[in-house]
Structure formats: C-alpha cells, structure tokens
Structure 1
Amino acid sequence: MPEDNNEIVKNNQHHHHHHRRRRGWVLFWSILGVLVAIAVIFAGVAWHNLSVTTSDMYSTSGANAKRNARQVLKQGKPVSILLMGTDTGALGRTDRGRTDTLMLMTLNPQKKTTTIVSVPRDMKVNLPGYAAYSPAKINAAYTYGGVKETINTMQKEFDVPIDYYVLVNMKGLEKAINRVGGIDVTSPLTFSFEGSSFKRGQTYHLNGEQALRFSRMRHEDPNGDYGRQQRQRLIIAALLKKSVSYKTLLNRSFLDTLSDSSQTDLSMKDMLTLARKYSSARENVKQDHVEGNNDDEGGVSFQSVSSDERQRVTNLIQESLQN
C-alpha cells in the first residue's frame, strides 16, 4: 500500500475520542435523491434535470453481491441500501477520506416500514480484503478499499445482503441545506458548539453552517456518538421534508449540488421502480443503532460489538427484509 495511504489509515485508527476534533458530521442528505425522484415522477416535473443528475451520480460498487438486486426491485421485495458519509473535501482534503457515518436502511413495502440502523464509525472489525491491516475501525474500510470494501465488510459483519448504496461527501451538505432555504429542527438537548447554542425542546431554523454545528458535537452529549447519530437523523428528516417540493425540484443549482456531492449505484430506472413500488415504506420509520463498548488495543480506541449485539442487529435487518 502506498505510504500516504498508510499514513491516512494510521492517523484514522489512532484517533482517540479526546484528541483533535473530528469533522465527522456527514449527514445522509443524499438519500433525498431517491425520495426526490419519487416526487418528481409523481409530479411529472423536472424530469430532464433529474435524469442528468442521477446519471452523473451513478457508479457501480464492485462489491460481492449476495443476491440479484435488480430482481429484488423488479419483484417489489424488501430492499436494503447502505448510506455512507465521507469526510472527503473537509479543509481542502483531496484524499479518499473515511466513512465517518454509516447507516443501513431497509425499505419494506409489504410492511410499509423503513428501518434505519446506525453503525458506530469506530466499530472493531476484520477487513475481508485487507487482513494485514486488521483489526481496524470500520470507517477504515473506505480508506483502504472504497465503497467495495465497505459493503463487503458490512455484509461480513452482519451477514445481511446490501443491495444498493448511496455515498455523500460532507462538502455538499452545507450547500444542499442552503439551496432549500434552511431547515427546521428541534433540539433534543441543551448544548453549545463552535459559537452556536441550542436548548432542549426548542425549534430552530438552521442554515447549512448551523446545521453542521448542530450535528457535529458529540463530546458533550451524554450519549456520545450515539447522540450525535440521533441529531444526524433529525437533520436527514428535516432536509427530506424541505427538499421534496416543486421549488426544489425545479432548482437546477440544487440538483447540481446533489450530483457533485453524491454517488450511488441506483440508476434512474431503479429510482422509478422505487417510486412505483416502495413509496408505502415511508409510512413508518424505525430507527436503531449498533451498540458497542470502549476497547483500547495497542493505543487505538475501538468500539467493540459483542456477538450477541451483532446477532440482534442481524435478526433486526433480516426481519425487516422479510415479506
């Protein structure tokens, strides 16, 4: 492996919770790409703009396929999508970066349910394609082997199929929120971070920069990174709600921001299928997370996930993928 990549991962794995502040506040606003497609299809507007956008975003993963994803969509069966957020683009970075946020989402049109499971970025894993660099944090999978290694690692750790993925880099989040005129969120706790203050139970209208501050803080959260994940999901929901509108769909600059900052193996045809067969899955949203314990090994701070917890998450995902 090239020396510079070794250094990247070395820095990644030796980061401790109390060392330098990490810019790992990436939010999966790009999932709105799928839901925006649904709105566009039903509304019959901005079709050309969205077609160009989704074409620019498309990229296959190269990961090991556990099943035929196209057939799953065609038959309208429950489908899984891995949502990945990278810190690429932060502070002028041009390297591949890390997946500082991972969420596995399943859409079940029969049960009319969407299930979202957050995975801690410091989860201790063995990378299937890079055994020599294991154990490693799960966010190092992207640094070593990109989307392919991340998907393969997730499938190995939880023994569930990942049909599609959506990847977004943090550089576009602030722009996306600003493009829709800001978002409204209610803070679940009282805290201050980088000049912004929030009070529990109070609703705020946030621009892109403020939304990043709201979602980044974790050291002062009594639930640590898990609390941060909760605030990330609040931002996701707010952006989804704000983005699905005629004004946004007709906004070429917003769609350009989407394509410049996102990557997915969902084609326009796949999105059309999702629109026709999976819209009912939005009626109920279940949220969960993988729970780990602090594990310091060789000076590296991991989140160690027990076999029982892994099995619990596996059962949850497998159940959500049943008709």
Structure 2
Amino acid sequence: MLKKFIWAFVIMIGIVVVGIAGYAYYLYDSVKDTANDIHEPIDPEREKEQPKPKVDDKNAPQPISILLLGVDERENDQGRSDTMIVMTVNPEKKSMYMFNIPRDSRTEIIGKGIDDKINHAYAFGGTKMAVETVENFLDIPINYYIKVNMESFQDIVDAVGGVTVDNRLAFSDNGFSYPKGQIQLENGEKALTYVRMRKQDHRGDLGRNERQRQVIKGVIDKGARVSSISKFDNILDVISDNVKTNMTFSEMKDIQANYKDARKDLKTFEVDARGTNINGIFYFIVSEEERNSISERLKEHLEINSSNASTEEDAA
C-alpha cells in the first residue's frame, strides 16, 4: 500500500536540500507562503533548550541532521511513521549520509517507557516522540524533521520528468519490466511500482528501503537541474497539503545556499538487523555493536563527540 513508502519525502528533499534555485526568485512569494504554511516546531521548549546548528554562516555552516518521516494520517487517526530515513549533511566535507531505520526495529519508546517497534513512537506521541526516540536510538541530536503524508509521490516524479536508478534485481510487476542495471523510471506510476515491490526480493523490507533511497537520490539529482521541473506550482500545492517541518523559510534558503554541494557525494547504507519473533510479534533487532558503530559514524560526520551528543531526554 502507498502508505508504506516514502513517496512525498522527495518533495522537500528536492526543494529544500538541493535547491529552489532560479525558480525561487521567480516564485519567491509563493515559496515563502508555502514554507510558512508547513512550518511546525517540534516543541517550543525543546527549541530553546536544544538550539539548531548555524546554517546561515556561508563561511562556516555547521553540519545538520534531518529525520524524514513518512506517515499515513487520516481523520481521527494519528497514523504511524512507516518510513523513517535519517540524513546528515556536512557542508565542509560536501557530503551527505542517508539510511533507513527499519520500521520494525525494537527499541525504547522515549516518553512511553516501553520497548516497541520504532515506528510506533509516532502513533504514541506524534512528531516529538518519534524524533526523541530516534535520537535515543542513534545517540545523536536530530536538528530538523520533515513529515509527509503519503499521497503525492507520483506527481513529484512526473514533475521532474522521471528519474534514473541503478537496479540490482531484474523483475516485472504491475505491467512494468525492470531490467538489471541503470534504468529510467519515466513516470510516477513506474517509480511507485519499482519501490513497492517486495515479494520478489529476498531482502524484503531492506531491499525496498534501498529502492526508496535510489528514487530519492534520483529526484535530488533531477531536481537540482531547475529546467527539469515542469509543474512547480503543482509541487507547491502538494507540499502545502502534505508536508510539515520545523525548518523556517529562512533556514530553507540558507540550507539551499550553503549545503547544496553536499548532494554531489551522497552515501547510503543499510542498518544491519536480524528478524525475530517476541511473544508472537515480529521485530528487527539491531545489536548494540551495530547501533554504536552507526552512532560513531554519524557523530564524526556531524562533527560532534559522545560528550556533546545530547537528546531531549538528557536536556529534560
């Protein structure tokens, strides 16, 4: 089902991280109004206690971390974050890391006091609990979040004119054929089917996660070429209806200006997790060794150390 995937994340990644560029000048007011519409702080008190990195210093902008949440929110239903992607961006090194946290990863749900699947944190306590649970899981601060309700992916892929991916597994599904190697996903429907497929991939969710990241990278690369965006007004409408973030319009502009070169070195990796059943419920178990390894890798990229890495729980 569509709700299980990251689709509309590409909207904000493509526009915020790689840049509004020339269109921003032409559609400045529209972009600003949309940015104001989607702005939603995690928690005012948290913002005071845990200041964001300086992104406005063009000479020395600080590394940042972003949590991408893909949720399915319906009327009278909080929904769950069926996709959780962490990105770190280091402007000095001009590099980005991006990886999925398996949604079934068993961990402590911060603020709930129980161990459960990490994607349940959003259902229990919304964005704040999801962010704080990820911070605890990885032992790094999360500076920004981008939350998207999954109803708009196809329009975005269509707007950038399709994307190119490097397919590791030849398969056919839903009337489309996907040969192994570099292939073009010409439209949103074909891209949707590409990422949705899971049963033919022995890696299951892990294989699906990899294809998600491929499509995100494809949109980043394509979105960086402003001439490829043919339906900018439509994109803004979709963002306004489906996206929330604690980035302000000013921060978006600064990130676009000072961090855009990092997209040229985007590294992705997979969390090593093993599946198991506990009391009849399936979980992914991420070992302490694996979590520590990922944490140290991210801290190095964010230029922080263990003594500086604080979570909301620590601040409280």
TM-score, structure 1 as length reference: 0.84
CA-to-partner distance for each residue in 1:125-176, whole Å, 9 max, x for gaps?
A: 1111112xx3211110111111111100011111101101111121011222
Aligned residues: 297
Q: Give the whole-Å Cα distance in 2 for the aligned partners of 1:73 and 1:161.
A: 19
The amino acid that maps onto 1:297 is I
Say if 2:160 is the partner of 1:180.
yes
Judge conservation of contact 2:18–2:260 (CA < 8 Å) in 1: no
For 2:252, the equivalent position in structure 1 comes to 271
For 1:297, the equivalent position in structure 2 comes to 278
Q: Give the whole-Å Cα distance in 2 for the aligned partners of 1:54 and 1:311.
A: 36
1:77 aligned counterpart, secondary structure: coil
Judge conservation of contact 1:166–1:265 (CA < 8 Å) in 2: yes
For 1:86, the equivalent position in structure 2 comes to 71
Judge conservation of contact 2:55–2:258 (CA < 8 Å) in 1: no
Alignment of 1:156-195 (within 5 A): 156-195=136-175
1:185–1:291 Cα change, 3 Å:
same
For 1:125, the equivalent position in structure 2 comes to 107
1:182–1:250 Cα change, 3 Å:
closer
1:282–1:171 Cα change, 3 Å:
same
Aligned counterpart for 1:315 among listed residues 291, 296, 316: 296
1:145 aligned counterpart, secondary structure: helix
Root-mean-square deviation over aligned CA pairs: 2.4
CA shift at 1:188, angstroms?
2.1
Say if 2:88 is the partner of 1:100.
no
For 1:114, the equivalent position in structure 2 comes to 96
Judge conservation of contact 1:45–1:250 (CA < 8 Å) in 2: no
CA shift at 1:88, angstroms?
3.4
Judge conservation of contact 2:2–2:151 (CA < 8 Å) in 1: no
Q: Please say which of residues 186-195 and 253-262 is displaced more in the overlay.
A: 186-195
Structure 1 unaligned blocks of 5 or more: 1-20
1:38–1:204 Cα change, 3 Å:
closer
Identity score, percent: 32
The amino acid that maps onto 1:258 is I
Aligned counterpart for 1:69 among listed residues 52, 62, 82: 52
CA shift at 1:246, angstroms?
4.2
Q: Give the whole-Å Cα distance in 1 for the aligned partners of 2:271 and 2:258.
A: 29
CA shift at 1:303, angstroms?
0.1
For 1:288, the equivalent position in structure 2 comes to 269
Judge conservation of contact 1:38–1:271 (CA < 8 Å) in 2: no
Judge conservation of contact 1:291–1:309 (CA < 8 Å) in 2: yes
1:198–1:280 Cα change, 3 Å:
closer
CA shift at 1:252, angstroms?
1.2
The amino acid that maps onto 2:242 is S
For 2:40, the equivalent position in structure 1 comes to 59
CA-to-partner distance for each residue in 1:215-271, whole Å, 9 max, x for gaps?
A: 012232132212111111111122223334146377312211122121111111101
CA shift at 1:281, angstroms?
1.9
2:214 aligned counterpart, secondary structure: helix
1:81 aligned counterpart, secondary structure: strand
Structure 2 unaligned blocks of 5 or more: 305-316
Judge conservation of contact 1:124–1:303 (CA < 8 Å) in 2: yes
The amino acid that maps onto 1:321 is L
Runs ≥4 residues deviating over 6 A = none
1:88 aligned counterpart, secondary structure: coil
Judge conservation of contact 1:88–1:96 (CA < 8 Å) in 2: yes
Aligned counterpart for 1:46 among listed residues 24, 27, 36: 27
